[in-house]
Structure 1
Amino acid sequence: MTKVAVIGAGIVGVSTAAWALRDGHEVVLIDKQGPGEGTSYGNAGMLASCSIVPVSVPGLARKAPKMLFDPRQPLFLKWGYLPKVAPWLIQFLKNANPADTQRIAAALAEITADSIGEHRAVAEGTPAADYIVPSDYVFAYRDREHYAGDAFGWGIRKKHGYEWEVLEGDAVQAYDPALAKDIRCLVRVPGHGFISDPGAYVKALAAHVVGEGAQLVTGTAEGIVQENGRVTGVRVDGETIAADAVVIALGAWSAPLARSLGLTVPLESERGYHLELYGVNQMPKSPTSVIAGKFVATPMAGRLRLAGIVEFGGLDAPPSRRPVALLEENIRTAMPGLTWTEQREWLGHRPSLPDSLPMIGEVPKVKGAFLGFGHQHVGLTCGPRTGRLLAQLLSGRKPNVDMAAFAPSRFTTGAQP
C-alpha cells in the first residue's frame, strides 16, 4: 500500500482521492480552504462531453483584439496585467489554426467522453450521486446562418462521434418556451448532464472519501519533500506529512509547487464570473449555451446560474464590474420573460495552459510526483476521468489513453512563457 498525498480538494483532487482509496492506497487530502470551495464551486455545472473544441479556434488571433475593445463581448483584460500575460497569449494564439485545433480536440475527447458516466462511477453509493442530473445540452443560435458559422467546430464533434438535432423556427420555443423568440435555431445534443449544486456535490464526495478512511488536512501545502529523486512527504504549514506519492491538483494555484519539482509551467488564470439568480419565475428546460453571448445558463437547485466570460488579470486582482453586468444583460436578451428576486456574484479562476490541455501524469525525474491540473473550461466535466487516470498511474497500471498529450514534460523544452 502507498501513502498518497493529494493537494487540492476540488473535483480533480477529490476524484483522485476516491479512486486511489478504492485501489487500496492510504490517502491524505490537503486543501487550504477545504473541499469544493474554489473553481469547483463556481463553474457552470455542466458535464459537457461535447466540449472538445478549444477556445483557440482558427481566426481567434484576428478577432481577439476587436473583442477586447467591445464592451458587449465576453473577453476582458485588466490592462496593467498585459505585460505579464502577453507571452502566454502569444503561445496560446499559436495554436489557433486548423491542425492544432484538431489535435487538441482529439486529446480532449479522450477525457471528456461519457462525463456523466464517469461522475456516476466515482459517486456511486454516495450522497453525491443525488446531484448528478441527466439532460440535453443545447446551443442557442440566432438563426441557421449563425449556426453555420460554427461549422468547423461541429465538424470536429461529428468526427468524434457526437450526434445532435437541429431545431428551427417555432420548434425552438416549442422545446423551450423561456427562450427569446428571435432565437430561431437550437442545437440539441443528448446524453449530457449537469450538477445541481457543484460545491455541495464536491463536499459530499469528499465527506464520503473521508468516511471511507482518507485523512482531510486543512492547510497550505508549502513544498514537496524529496530524497534521492523520490517523494517522501509534503510540508503543510511548517509540518511534514510523510507520503510515498503526491498529486498536485491545485488548479490555477499549482504552478509554484510544480516549479519546486523542476517544472516551469506556463499556467494562467482565465478569470471566470458567474451570476446566480434566485426566486426565478422560469428555468431553461436544459443547460443552454447562448452562443451570441458566449455564456451558459444552467438550472440548479434553487437558482439559475449564468457562467461564461473570460478575463485576464491574474490571481490577485479584485473582481471587475462589467463582466457581471454583461451576464445580466445577456440573460435578459436570451430569456426576456425571466424575473428574479435576488442575485449573487462570484469570481473564480480557470487553470489554463497555452495548448488548452491539462497536465496529467508523473513529473520527470521525481519519482512519485504527479500533476493533475490545467483543465481550463472543462474541469468539472473531466474531473472524475482525470482522477481515475491518476489513480491508475499511482498503482502502476497503464491507462488505455495516450497520455503523451497531457505529459507534464511537454513544456520543458524550447522557449516558453
Structure 2
Amino acid sequence: MTEKKTIAIIGAGIVGVSTAVWLQRDGHNVILIDKAGPAEGTSHGNGGVLASCSIVPVTVPGLLGKAPKMLLSPSQPLFLKWRYLPKLLPWLWKYLRHTNAADVERIAAALSSIVGDSLNDHKALAAGTGAEKWLVPSDYLFLYRDRAHFEEDTFGWDIRRRNGFQWDELEGHAFHEYDPVYSQGIGFAARLSDHGHITDPGRYVKDLAAHVEANGGRFIRANIEDVVRENGHVTGVRAGGETIACDAAVVTAGIWSGPLARRLGVSVPLESERGYHLELVEPSAMPRSPVMVVSGKFVATPMDGRIRLAGIVEFGGLDAPPSRAPFELMRKNARAAFPGVTWKEEVEWMGHRPAPADSIPVIGDVPGIKGAYMGFGHHHIGLTGGPKTGRLLAQMIAGRTPNVDMSVYAPSRYAK
C-alpha cells in the first residue's frame, strides 16, 4: 500500500464487513455505515451454507415453461404477490432473457470465481477476528427421491463438473447410514466435500464487525443520502444530515444499493428475491451436514441449537409484509424430510435478496467517479461470496490488480 485512505463502506452485511476487514488489514481507516446495524438484514437470515457449488442460476433452459405452473401451485417454492406484477415486469423481461444454455454457462463461470473457494475465503477472512468459532467445514448434500430424480438435474450437474466440482453419490442404505434423520422417501444424495456452514450467520457478521471496531474502525448508524463528489472525486458521504469525509466510498447495501447506484450513474435492474427462513429450535435430532432438499428447493442447515430451513423465492417488492404460505410450505416440507424430528418452538423470518437481472453481482469501480466502488447483487449466495468480494474490492481500492477478470462484474455494464 502506498497511501493510507479513509474509506466509507455503505452497508454492514457480509459484503460490507468483509470489505472493511480486508481494507483494515491493508492499513486503511474504515467507516461502516448502515441504517440498522451489522447483519441486521439478509446476512442475519440467510441459509448459512458456504455453497461453493451454487453457481447454476435460476434461469436455466425450461424455466419459462415451468414457472406458470409453479406460481399456481401452493406446493412449489415460487410465490408472487400478484399486485406487484406490473412493477416487476420490466425486470422480469430482462431476467427471463437469460434462460438459455449459453448465458447459464457464462453466469456459472462468473459466479464460480466469486464463490468457488468459499470455505477457504471465510477461513482467511475470519482468522484472528473471534468469528472463527461460527465457521464449520462440512459436506453439502443435494437430496433426491432416487437416481432418476437426480438425473433430471443433469444439466446443472454437468455445469458444476465443467467448473471443477466433484461429488460422490450415496444411494439407499448408504445414504441413510450417513444420516438416518431423513425420510425413507429420500433415497439418493450427491455429496460435495470441501464446503462449510456458519452456525449463526448474524452473530458471525456481528463478530467480524466488532473486530473492525476494536481495530479502530468506526460504525455509524444512519441512512445514506448521497455520495459527495468534487471534480469527479469522492470526498465524502452524506448521512443523517451531515457529511462524513472520506477518500473513497463502497456501496455494499444489498437490495438498497439500487437508488444510490443510480445517483452514481449506474442503473442496475435490481429486484428483491424475498427469501424466507423457518428455524426449528431445540430439535430432537440434528442433520449431520447442510443439505438442499431438491424436491422442495429448501436448505436445511444445522445451527447453534436449531435447524434453519431456508429457501423460497417470492416476488413482491420491499414493502409488503411476509406471506404465510412460504412458512407453511417449509413446515410441511420439513415434516416430510425428517418425520421423526420434533422441536420446541419455531422462529420465522423474511428478508430481501438483491437480484440483478443477469444474475451476476455488481463488483468494481464506478465509471467516471474516482474513489467510488460497488459490491452488491449476489442473489442467494451473498454469504458464500462475501469474503471474496470484499477482498477483490480491497485490492482494487489499493490499486492492485486482482487475479480475477473483473470486467464481467463491472458496474460499467449498467452505466447510464
Which TM class, normalised by the smaller chain length?
over 0.9
Structure 1 residue 248: deviation in Å?
A: 0.3
Please point out which of 26, 40, 44 is paired with 1:41.
44
1:50-69 equivalences in 2 (<5 Å): 50-69=53-72
Determine the structure 1 residue equivalent to 2:13.
Answer: 10
How do 1:14-413 and structure 2 match up within 5 A? Answer: 14-412=17-415
1:190 partner amino acid: S
Moved over 6 A (4+): none
Aligned counterparts of 1:197 and 1:172: Cα–Cα separation in 2:
27
1:163 Cα deviation from its structure 2 partner? 0.8
- Give, in whole Å, the separation in 1 of the partners of 2:183 and 2:147: 16
C-alpha contact (below 8 Å) 2:271/2:317 kept by paired residues: yes
* Alpha-carbon shift at residue 171 of structure 1 (Å): 1.2
| 3-state SS, counterpart of residue 205 of structure 1 | helix
Counterpart CA distance in 2 for 1:230 and 1:78 is 42
TM-score (normalised: structure 1): 0.98
Q: CA RMSD in A?
A: 0.7
For residues 325-371 of structure 1, what are the alpha-carbon distances to aligned partners after superposition, in whole Å with 9 as ceiling and x for unaligned?
Answer: 00000011111111111001000000000111100001111111100
Equivalent position amino acid for 2:210 in 1: A
How much has 1:411 moved relative to structure 2?
2.4
The residue type paired with residue 320 of structure 1 is S
Which amino acid letter does the alignment assign opposite residue 42 of structure 1?
G
Contact in 1 for aligned 2:265/2:415 (Cα 8 Å): no
CA–CA distance in structure 2, aligned partners of residues 248 and 121 of structure 1: 23
Rounded to whole Å, the distance in 1 between the matches of 2:27 and 2:126 is: 17
- Report the Cα distance in structure 1 between the residues aligned to 2:172 and 2:29, rounded to whole angstroms: 56
More divergent stretch after superposition (239-248 vs 261-270): 261-270
Deviation at 1:412, TM superposition (A): 3.3
- Matched to 1:395, the amino acid is A
Query: Structure 2 CA distance, aligned partners of 1:178 and 1:111?
Result: 33
Aligned length: 413
- The letter of the residue matching 1:318 is P
Using the TM superposition, give the Cα deviation of residue 200 of structure 1 relative to its aligned residue in structure 2, in angstroms: 0.3
Where does the alignment leave 5 or more consecutive residues of structure 2 unmatched? Answer: none
User: Equivalents in 1 of 2:22, 2:123: separation in Å?
Assistant: 13
Counterpart amino acid of 2:142?
A: F
State the SS of the aligned residue for 2:285: coil
Letter in 2 for 1:173: H
CA shift for structure 1 position 172: 1.5
What SS does the aligned partner of 2:380 have?
helix
Deviations 1:263-292 (A, max 9, x none): 211110000000001121011111010000
The alpha carbon displacement at 1:317 in A equals 0.6
Per the TM alignment, residue 161 of structure 1 is displaced from its structure 2 partner at its CA by 1.1
User: What secondary structure does 1:127 align onto?
Assistant: coil
- Counterparts of 1:294 and 1:174, CA distance in 2: 23
Amino acid at match of 1:80: R
Distance 2:415 2:31 in 1: 29
Supply the distance in 1 between the matched residues of 2:270 and 2:389 (Cα, whole angstroms): 18
TM-superposition CA deviations, 1:131-166 (whole Å, max 9, x none): 000000001000000000100110011111111011
Once the two structures are superposed, residues 3-25 of structure 1 have per-residue CA deviations (whole angstroms, 9 ceiling, x without a partner) of 10000000000000000111111
* Structure-1 separation of matches of 2:310 and 2:267: 30
What are the superposed Cα offsets for residues 76-96 of structure 1, whole Å, 9 maximum, x if unpaired? Answer: 000010001111111111111
Return the alpha-carbon distance in structure 2 between the equivalents of residues 352 and 368 of structure 1: 25
Shift of 1:66: 1.0
Take 1:370 and 1:153, find their aligned partners in 2: how far apart are those partners? 32
What is the identity, as a one-letter code, of the residue corresponding to 1:340?
W
Identity %: 61
- Per the TM alignment, residue 2 of structure 1 is displaced from its structure 2 partner at its CA by 1.1
Distance in 2 of aligned mates of 1:279 and 1:161: 37
**TM-score when normalising by structure 2:** 0.98
CA distance in 2, matches of 1:291, 1:90: 26
Q: Kindly state the Cα deviation for residue 229 of structure 1 after the two structures are TM-superposed.
A: 1.1
Matched letter for residue 391 of structure 2 = R
Q: Could you list the runs of 5+ residues in structure 1 that have no partner in the other structure?
A: none
Match of 1:280, SS state, is coil
2:367, 2:415 within 8 Å by CA — same for their partners in 1? no
